[in-house]
């Protein structure tokens, strides 16, 4: 773990005071990656040419007459999850089927980060096509947790979380479909957020489950998370699901008062199956929120227990459709076959890993004739009930507080033999994914073994400001080390 954690603010201060140049900072981070990555396997590819070209632009701007007009993320070294397209930089999605895929264009979120001055260092490891909760489903080997190298960083955005937690990037982008930003954020001990569904453009995001996928930030502070979200959020003509709701200035709103804020504590999130140390820390976190003026309200969200089952029908059905495009014709791996169909089957059979094939099978089954009503339609109806739990909750409270993950970082290999056990790692995060509400995970102390615990805050649709305010107040009050 690196003691010197850079933030967006400290990068800016150092650059404008000319204590360091953007080129030197980039060199330093690439050197850190060279030292730290062999052990962590957080990065799958580096983009030094692109990074130095951007650094030189920033250095030129600082030397120029308008140094005060530097863009908001000037010189900030960032990492991008490998499911997000980067022009000219290999993007594998953690899959063999895209082993040599080089996207011809940038995702909007990446283009916006660079336009705001960020320096893209490289691409981070993840579960194949973002399907997993431990980053062990990557075709390129697992990422290790910087807090305990024999443990997983969470997933699927485990590489992004580990890179930021280990000081190999100041911030990172991940994607969240059922918990893939928040859960690795929790397991690696850093703030990690998904905005409202549709808040951030997904143009250039290689799709997994389109009614659930979201792009969001990892950073070391809530303030940095807010700054990144503000840059990547907002309407994009290239993504019709990106909602044209104005983006508030999250950063200037961070200090808004949280006194009197009603925080809902849903009973269903504090039941069996939660690690005792996680429970103790999250309860201490809630007490801390009470101490700075939040008002806890006991809640019932009765459909919580059905969320995993619902999610694994909806997400796999959408995945089976989205992943039909990998057929060996236009990009990625092709395994020759005697006929076109034979080529499709061999390419997909060998190119996809076990979890991806399992989910394609489950999704195809759920959508198939004779089972559609029993599985897919049923799951969509239960999804309505889960969303309704949130609607009703937000009539009584301003935010909902839960643990992010029922357990701290587990050991590599501990859950790989039993897919269902792995799925249950997302038991507290999938609900918000299905309802489309924004959510953040913030660090909330450590277990006696020294493993980070995460506390999750949900807000109503498009109420990212209040989620961030509460997370910021929690951080300021010492909640991260409660």
Partner 1 sequence: MTRYAKIRVPGKEMKITREQVLRVAEMAHLELTEAEVDTYSRQLDSILTYIEKLNQLDTSHVEPMAQVFSGVGNEVGNEAGNEAGKQAGKEAGSQENTSVREDVARASDVGPAVLDGAPDASRPYFRVPKVIER
Q: Of 394, 410, 474, 480, which lies in the binding site for partner 1, with binding defined by CB under 8 A? A: 394
Alpha-carbon separation of residue 332 from 91, 246, 329, 351, 356 (angstroms): 10, 38, 8, 9, 16
Q: Does 252 bind partner 1 (CB under 8 A)?
A: no
Q: Does 1 bind partner 1 (CB under 8 A)?
A: no
Q: Of 15, 89, 362, 451, which lies in the binding site for partner 1, with binding defined by CB under 8 A? A: 362
Cβ at position 16, least distance to partner 1 in Å: 35
Q: Binders of partner 1 among 284-313, rule CB under 8 A?
A: 303, 305-306, 308-310, 312-313
Alpha-carbon separation of residue 29 from 170, 245, 355 (angstroms): 9, 36, 33
CA 399 – CA 458 distance, rounded (Å): 6
Q: How large is the C-alpha radius of gyration of the chain?
A: 21
Q: Of 123, 144, 202, 383, which lies in the binding site for partner 1, with binding defined by CB under 8 A? A: 383
Q: Of 2, 100, 252, 481, which lies in the binding site for partner 1, with binding defined by CB under 8 A? A: 100
Q: Does 243 bind partner 1 (CB under 8 A)?
A: yes
Q: Of 2, 342, 411, 450, which lies in the binding site for partner 1, with binding defined by CB under 8 A? A: 342
Cβ at position 364, least distance to partner 1 in Å: 4
Assess contact for 32 and 167: CB atoms under 8 A. Answer: yes
CA 227 – CA 174 distance, rounded (Å): 15
Q: Binders of partner 1 among 202-221, rule CB under 8 A?
A: 211
Q: Is 281 a catalytic residue?
A: no
Cβ at position 140, least distance to partner 1 in Å: 19
Comparing CA positions, the residue from 133, 156, 131, 159 lying closest to residue 144 is 159
Q: Does 65 bind partner 1 (CB under 8 A)?
A: no
Comparing CA positions, the residue from 177, 180, 242, 178 lying closest to residue 213 is 177
Alpha-carbon separation of residue 414 from 151, 299, 322 (angstroms): 9, 33, 29
Q: Of 361, 411, 449, 481, which lies in the binding site for partner 1, with binding defined by CB under 8 A? A: 361
Assess contact for 186 and 153: CB atoms under 8 A. Answer: no
Contacts of the segment 391-397: beta carbons below 8 A, 24+ positions apart: 393/264, 393/266, 393/299, 393/301, 394/460, 396/262, 396/264, 396/297, 396/299, 397/262, 397/263, 397/264, 397/297, 397/299
Alpha-carbon separation of residue 335 from 94, 100, 331, 339, 351 (angstroms): 18, 14, 12, 11, 8
Please, what's the b/e burial string for 412-430 (b: 16 or more CB within 10 A of its CB; e: otherwise)?
A: bebbbeebeebbbbbbbbb
Complex with partner 1: residue 10 or 380, whichever CB lies closer: 380
Q: Which stretch binds partner 1 (CB under 8 A): 27-35, 41-49, 269-277, 384-392?
A: 384-392
Q: Are strands 295-299 and 399-403 parallel, antiparallel or unpaired?
A: unpaired
Cβ at position 421, least distance to partner 1 in Å: 10
Q: Does 360 bind partner 1 (CB under 8 A)?
A: yes
Residues binding partner 1: what is the number (CB under 8 A)?
A: 92
Q: Is 156 a catalytic residue?
A: yes
Complex with partner 1: residue 231 or 360, whichever CB lies closer: 360
Q: Does 416 bind partner 1 (CB under 8 A)?
A: no
CA 125 – CA 363 distance, rounded (Å): 25
CA 156 – CA 166 distance, rounded (Å): 17
Q: Of 5, 102, 277, 284, which lies in the binding site for partner 1, with binding defined by CB under 8 A? A: 102
Cβ at position 319, least distance to partner 1 in Å: 11
Instruction: Give the per-residue contact string, 166-205, with partner 1 (x = CB under 8 A; - = no).
Output: ------------------------------xxx-------
Q: Does 365 bind partner 1 (CB under 8 A)?
A: yes
Cβ at position 353, least distance to partner 1 in Å: 11
Q: Binders of partner 1 among 222-241, rule CB under 8 A?
A: 235, 237-238, 240-241
Complex with partner 1: residue 41 or 456, whichever CB lies closer: 456
Q: Does 378 bind partner 1 (CB under 8 A)?
A: yes
Comparing CA positions, the residue from 78, 69, 81, 104 lying closest to residue 25 is 78
Catalytic residue among 21, 47, 81, 134: 81
In sequence order, the 6+-apart residues with CB closer than 8 A to the CB of 431 are 301, 304, 307, 386, 389, 390
Q: Does 341 bind partner 1 (CB under 8 A)?
A: yes
Cβ at position 321, least distance to partner 1 in Å: 10
And the tokens for 71? 């863009």
Q: Is 81 a catalytic residue?
A: yes
Q: Does 16 bind partner 1 (CB under 8 A)?
A: no
CA 156 – CA 433 distance, rounded (Å): 14
Q: Does 466 bind partner 1 (CB under 8 A)?
A: yes
Q: Does 349 bind partner 1 (CB under 8 A)?
A: yes
Cβ at position 459, least distance to partner 1 in Å: 7
Q: Does 317 bind partner 1 (CB under 8 A)?
A: no
Residue in this structure with the two tokens 């993950």, named with its chain if needed: 405
Catalytic residue among 180, 223, 320, 405: 180
Cβ at position 385, least distance to partner 1 in Å: 6
Omega before 156 within 30 of 0, i.e. cis: yes
Q: Which sequence positions are flagged as catalytic?
A: 81, 156, 180
């Amino acid at each position: 773990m690196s003691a010197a954690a850079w933030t967006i603010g400290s990068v800016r201060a150092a650059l404008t005071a000319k204590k360091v140049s953007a080129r030197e900072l980039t060199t330093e981070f690439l050197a850190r990656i060279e030292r730290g990555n062999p052990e962590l396997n957080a990065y799958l590819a580096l983009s030094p040419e692109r990074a130095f070209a951007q650094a030189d632009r920033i250095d030129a701007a600082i030397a120029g007459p308008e140094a005060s007009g530097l863009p908001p993320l000037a010189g900030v070294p960032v990492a991008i999850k490998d499911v997000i397209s980067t022009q000219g930089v290999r993007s594998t999605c953690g899959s063999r089927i895209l082993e040599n895929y080089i996207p011809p264009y940038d995702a909007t979120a990446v283009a916006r980060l660079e336009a705001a001055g960020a320096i893209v260092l490289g691409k981070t490891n993840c579960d194949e096509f973002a399907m997993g909760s431990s980053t062990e489903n990557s075709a390129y080997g697992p990422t290790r947790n910087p807090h305990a190298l024999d443990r997983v960083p969470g997933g699927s955005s485990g590489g992004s979380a580990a890179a930021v937690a280990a000081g190999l990037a100041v911030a990172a982008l991940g994607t969240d479909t059922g918990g893939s930003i928040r859960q690795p954020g929790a397991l690696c001990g850093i703030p990690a957020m998904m905005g409202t569904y549709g808040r951030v453009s997904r143009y250039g995001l290689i799709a997994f489950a389109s009614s659930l996928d979201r792009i969001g930030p990892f950073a070391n502070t809530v303030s940095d998370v807010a700054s990144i979200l503000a840059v990547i959020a907002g309407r994009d003509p290239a993504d019709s699901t990106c909602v044209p709701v104005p983006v508030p200035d999250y950063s200037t709103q961070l200090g808004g008062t949280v006194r009197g804020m009603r925080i809902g504590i849903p009973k269903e999130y504090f039941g069996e199956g939660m690690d005792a140390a996680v429970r103790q820390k999250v309860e201490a976190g809630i007490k801390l929120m009470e101490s700075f003026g939040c008002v806890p309200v006991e809640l019932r969200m009765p459909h919580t227990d059905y969320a995993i089952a619902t999610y694994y029908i909806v997400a796999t059905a959408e995945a089976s459709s989205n992943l039909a495009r990998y057929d060996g014709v236009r990009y990625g791996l092709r395994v020759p076959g005697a006929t076109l169909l034979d080529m499709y089957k061999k390419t997909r059979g060998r190119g996809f890993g076990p979890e991806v094939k399992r989910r394609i099978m489950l999704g195809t089954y759920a959508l198939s004739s004779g089972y559609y009503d029993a599985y897919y339609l049923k799951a969509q109806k239960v999804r309505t009930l889960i969303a309704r739990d949130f609607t009703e909750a937000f009539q009584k409270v301003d935010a909902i507080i839960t643990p992010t993950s029922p357990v701290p970082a587990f050991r590599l290999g501990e859950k790989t033999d039993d897919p269902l056990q792995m799925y249950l790692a997302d038991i507290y995060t999938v609900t918000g994914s299905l309802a489309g509400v924004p959510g953040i995970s913030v660090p909330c102390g450590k277990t006696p073994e020294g493993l980070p615990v995460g506390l999750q805050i949900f807000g109503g649709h498009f109420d990212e400001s209040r989620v961030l305010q509460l997370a910021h107040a929690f951080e300021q009050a010492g909640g991260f080390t409660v």
